[in-house]
A and B are shown apart, each in its own frame.
Chain A
Amino acid sequence: MTGKHKVLIVDDEVHIRRLIDATLKRVGYTTVEASSGREALDRLRQERPDVTLLDLGLPDRDGLELVPLFKQQSDASLIVISARDATEQKVAALDLGADDYLTKPFDTDELLARLRVALRNRTTRDGGATAVTAGDVEIDLLNRIVRKGGREVHLTPKEYGVLAQLAKFPGRVITHGQIMAQVWPREVDHHVEYLRVLVRTLRQKLEDDPQQPQIIGNEPGIGYRLRSGIEG
């Protein structure tokens, strides 16, 4: 399925660009490179890539400033790559519209998995897929039904709300703020503890072993991710 997909690689380090380029070409992607924010915006307009890999540490612009520009000017999925492990920055990039993030140094397999997720979510967004599978859990977003091993699981409306937020973009990290804004739209002060408790009860109902969760993954300080059969 990766045949014709085009990836824009934005990084000021020529070695890293070349290596990512070689890795992606080997598995069948087409690639475009850019070494600065300016160049990246030009390439984005000319080449119309399907996914952008954006390194946040660019010489000419703060990568965070570029995130909203990229989302405005293109419908390409956006994966930010950062060598900085500042959690705030990752959350900010995600809340500004980035689809996912990777921290340098990253695993090649992980990069490829994130790319697949980003591309699939892009198709989902356009085509409107309505059912998601994670392990033996099926989530039917159209009829609001959740099954585990073929058997329907009863979820409270809030539990379903949290799960549905994750299932809309399976495999992608969704920040706490993004989930809570959807599930508690009227609350001004969001309490992460409510979300924690809901995730805990969701795991009790959905995971084979709630102590070692395989379906809902946690990104410390950032958000949750539905592990939807594409990891590893």
Chain B
Amino acid sequence: MNAPPSDRQASSHPATPLHGYIAAALAVIAMTAISLLLVHAIALGNIALLYLVPVMFAAARYGLRAGLFAGLASSLAYNFFFLPPTGTLTVDNPANIISLLVLLGVAIVTSQFAASARAQAQRAQESARQNAMLAGFSRHLSAAAGQEELMQSVCTEIARLLDVRAILLTPSVEGPILRAAVPPEDRIDRIEAAAAQWAMDHLQPAGRGSITLTASDWLFHPLHTQRGVVAVVGMARDDGDLPIPTGHDALVTSLLDQAAVALDRMALEDQMLEARQVAERDRLRAALLSSVSHDLRTPLTSILTAAQALRQEQGSTLVDTIESEAQRLNRFVANLLDMARLEAGALPMRVEATDLLDAVSAAIADTRQALAGHMVTVDLSPDLPLVRVDPVLLHHCLINLLDNAGRYGAPGTTVIIRGRSEADAILLSVIDQGPGIPAGQEARLFETFTRLAGSDRAVHGTGLGLTIVKGFAEAMGLSVAASNVADPSGACFTIRIPDTVMIGNMTLKDLA
């Protein structure tokens, strides 16, 4: 199976070699000798039957032409040696003419049957050989460990099986890239690259022996699966002959299909491996964050519980300090962990229908301490639609904004939470009565670790809160903005919730 198919004309009637005729002639001569020995023992008609033996032998062994030749030779010998008058090629009895014709006819029919049986056997042999070739090919490909090795393997096998030079190119935005070649080649010409590109684009062969770009010495066949083109295989012969021998298109197609499937499978395996690695990295990161969270919060829990126990026994401002500082540290830890999640791109989003009133009331409940010195006014339009957001992320946003308002708003003033429906968005604002934002600093406010000059001297903060508000809001498809308001004067932080995440008015009939 290693040698390339040598007879290019895969025909069912191959030319009979000379030795076929000689063998046929010898067989007829041998049968004539035997018949001459038997002529007195058996009837003349039976001798005609004996001549069928060399005819069938020649037809079965050497094909139709040898069979016909044996048939003709047999009838001549029968006529010359046995039919009276013997020694001449004339026939005096009409009955004997019939037996002569029958001998010839039988010779023709038998040869044809024998020849077609022989051709069939040859075809079966050829197909077995091709199957073995394909099986061997696929075995070689499946042994490859990586993509590079597989591509080299495809080229090696195609070069060996078809006796051609083979190269393999893969698609890229900058055109085809040479990935493997047998024998090794460093580069391809522009005309070759163009043919390869054409083959990729049109999913059809291009180059020598195809119908397009025949100026190329190479013939390029695309390798494609349902997922698209995976590569292009180029083939060329050193003798300048057609790269694919006539009649071998089907074989080449099968080989290339197998190569395409193997390459595709390898690419999928690589993708799966990469996905597994990413998942593993995310899992480790989540585990790390969770463990850091645990490690930081456990001592905080101890400190807070201890402070609260102490207060029961001996209320003192020192204990209050411990408690409020521990609370602040806790907010700081929560923000740091949120920041880490945000930067790692590891925010677990769990979007669900959310009522902004729910969100606001939960945020107020959780910032009772931070807003202890303030009054809180909630002013939400009663007709605000539900929105599709992650309620926990929104909760963190609101807590940070309320915490911020509590820190910057002058003690005793009111913090307003306002929700308004606009044409294409809901604006949810937290308004304080503090010093406001210095002009031109509105955008910088949301950058990491920014605390603005003039507003940070008296108030402690980490500068992370607003960055987290922005990061979380944007992760949910919302945006944030800061501005100053005049009456009463202070800062206004607005979360803009676009209509894309709103839930339209629902029909509530089936709810009752």
Contact surface of A with B, Cβ cutoff 8 Å: 13, 15-16, 19-20, 22-23, 26, 57, 83-88, 104-109, 156-159, 191-194, 196-200, 203, 210-213, 217-221
B350 A107 Cβ-Cβ under 8 A: no
Q: How many residues of B contact A (CB 8 A)?
A: 47
With A156-B512, A193-B506, A221-B350 known as contacts, the answer to whether A16 contacts B301 (CB < 8 A) is yes
CB pair A16–B302 under 8 Å, yes or no, is yes
Which B residues lie at the A interface, using CB under 8 A? 290, 293-294, 297-298, 300-306, 308-309, 312, 326, 330, 334, 348, 350, 352-355, 357-359, 361-362, 364-365, 376, 378-380, 382, 386, 390-392, 394-395, 503, 506, 508, 511-512
Q: A211 with B379: in contact, given A84-B294, A193-B506, A219-B362 (CB under 8 Å)?
A: yes
**Contact A86 to B290, CB < 8 A, known contacts A105-B330, A191-B353:** yes
Q: Is the CB of A23 within 8 A of B386?
A: no
Chain B residues within an 8 Å CB radius of A84: 290, 293-294
Complex Cα distance, B511 from A158, in Å, reads 7
Can you report 11 residue pairs joining A to B where beta carbons are below 8 Å apart? A16-B302, A85-B293, A105-B300, A108-B304, A158-B512, A193-B503, A197-B508, A197-B511, A211-B380, A217-B362, A218-B359
B290 touches A13 (CB 8 A): no
Residue of B whose beta carbon sits closest to that of A108: B308
Would B357 and A211 count as touching, CB distance under 8 A?
A: yes
Contacts of A20 in B (CB 8 A): 305
B-chain residues with CB within 8 Å of residue A219 when the two chains form the complex = 362
Residues of chain B contacted by A105 (CB below 8 angstroms): 297, 300-301, 303-305, 326, 330
Q: What is the number of contacts between chain A and chain B, taking CB atoms within 8 Å?
A: 121
Residues of chain A within 8 A (CB-CB) of B382 are 210
A196 close to B301 (CB less than 8 A): no
Residues of A within 8 A of B305 (CB): 16, 19-20, 23, 105-106, 108
CA distance A156 to B510 in the complex (A): 11
Complex interface: chain A residues within 8 A of B350 (CB): 87-88, 221
Q: Which residues of B contact A57 (CB under 8 A)?
A: 294
Residues of B contacting A196 in the complex (Cβ-Cβ under 8 angstroms) = 353-355, 358, 386
Q: Which residue of B lies closest to A103 (CB)?
A: B297
Give every chain A residue within 8 A of B390 (Cβ-Cβ): 221
CA–CA, A217 to B394, complex, Å?
17
- A20-B305, A108-B308, A193-B386 known; A83-B512 Cβ under 8 A: no
Task: Please state if B511 and A212 are interface contacts (CB–CB under 8 Å).
Answer: no
Pair B361/A212 contact, Cβ less than 8 Å: yes
Name the residue on A nearest B302 (C-beta): A15
Interface centre among A57, A84, A210, A221 (most CB of B within 10 A): A221
Question: Judging by beta carbons under 8 Å apart, are A85 and B503 in contact?
Answer: no
Asked if B364 and A212 make an inter-chain contact with CB atoms under 8 angstroms apart, the answer reads yes
CA distance A217 to B308 in the complex (A): 25
CB–CB A217/B309 < 8 A? no
Report the minimal beta-carbon distance from B335 to chain A, rounded to whole angstroms: 12
Closest CB in chain B relative to A140 CB, distance in Å = 21
Given known contacts A87-B392, A105-B326, A221 and B355 CB-to-CB distance under 8 angstroms: no
Which chain B residue lies CB-closest to A198?
A: B511
